[in-house]
Amino acid sequence: MNPEQSFLSMLGIARRAGKLVFGCDAVIEQVGKRQASLLILSCDLSERSRRRVLDVAEPYGVPCLSPPFAMAQFQHAIGRCTGILAVCDRGFANRLLSFANSF
């Protein structure tokens, strides 16, 4: 399995494990609670939404990742159409970052 497929598969596993939060408001809430270990933004996310999330994440030091995947690919992987994801588990976050370093 290539790194892109592995990344999307890991998102699905994180979703089933209950460690994935999606949607702008829910993600911002998790960042504020210091629960988010990694933010993932789709490549076709609006600039306004991107800026809103990054402005909140930066002061908390939450890493943000913008892989080359569109919202439709996230929908296929996790079953929800969204452009903003928060991974709320350090292990899943580290694994996703390791896959992302390969592409």
Write out pLDDT tens, residues 47-57. 999 999 999 99
Burial class (CB in 10 A: 0-12, 13-18, 19+), 65: middle
pLDDT at position 47: 97
pTM of this structure: 0.95
User: What does DSSP say about strands 38-41 and 64-65: parallel, antiparallel, or unpaired?
Assistant: parallel
Closest CA to 76 of 2, 30, 7: 7
Structural domains of the chain, count: 1
Write out pLDDT tens, residues 57-85. 999 999 999 999 999 999 999 999 999 99
Supply the CATH number for residue 16's domain. Answer: 3.30.1330.30
| Domain limits for position 93 | 3-100
